Amino acid sequence: MNILYVILLSVFSLIVLFLLTKLIGYRQMSEMSMFDYISGITIGSIAAEMATALDSSFLEPLTAMIVYGLITALLAFITSKNMKIRRFISGSPYILFNDGHLYEGNFKKGHIDLSEFLVQCRLNGFFDLKELQTAILEENGRISFLAKSENRPACPSDLNLTPEKEWLLPTYVMDGEILYENLLHSGKDEEWLKKQLSSHGCKRLSDVFLATGNQQNTLNVYLKNNRSGSSVIKE
């Protein structure tokens, strides 16, 4: 009976966590500030405690989870409206390196040491600081790098080229299932899709693993393949 109770509480805590994450927003996962990190750990710890609390009521940890979630969502709303509060809660970006100069004071403010900074430089392809124009410690703890103009990769505008504008390519079929919403959004219909699949020699929709649009207003079709092979590249 206790095992069933733990299972039910675990499922329930996951549902609550999912709803709280939807309430807080995706910023919690992609742009974690210090407060986001603290609240995320705390809410997760409370959820784990609630799932295994056999001798006590689950209402107390549930209430705490909801309170933490609501406070995080409220602060996210407030910080989006007030610049000063946002800087206090989330912090401010610091310039670590610019135009050949290291800013020691900002290293101390951001609590980052020089060796860690050099590791991040190398991971981003800057083995020589002379190739680097600016490095900024962002609010979420990541470092943004700007290469000197003579060291950055060439882009079409540097070569006076004007390539055609590219668009987000829609997915029309996934694992044998038609994504009707994408068809409708692209102004296509099922008849057009079937004609395109037929032109690729596809007789059955169930044979299609993936079908996406392309810049030529046709389809890129990938059929299902039952062949087996090694999942490791051998050298």
| Cα of 46 vs its chain's centroid, Å | 25
Parse the chain into domains and list their residue ranges.
2-87, 94-147, 171-223
**pLDDT bracket for residue 81 (50, 70, 90):** confident
**94-147 against 171-223: fold identical:** yes
Q: Residue 28 — very low, low, confident or very high, per pLDDT cuts 50/70/90?
A: very low
Domain 171-223, classified CATH 3.30.240.20, yes or no: yes
Structure confidence at residue 229 (pLDDT): 44
Q: Where are the beta strands (DSSP E) in 100-225?
A: 101-102, 132-137, 143-147, 171-174, 177-178, 208-213, 219-223
CATH number of 94-147: 3.30.240.20
pLDDT, mean of residues 166-170 = 76
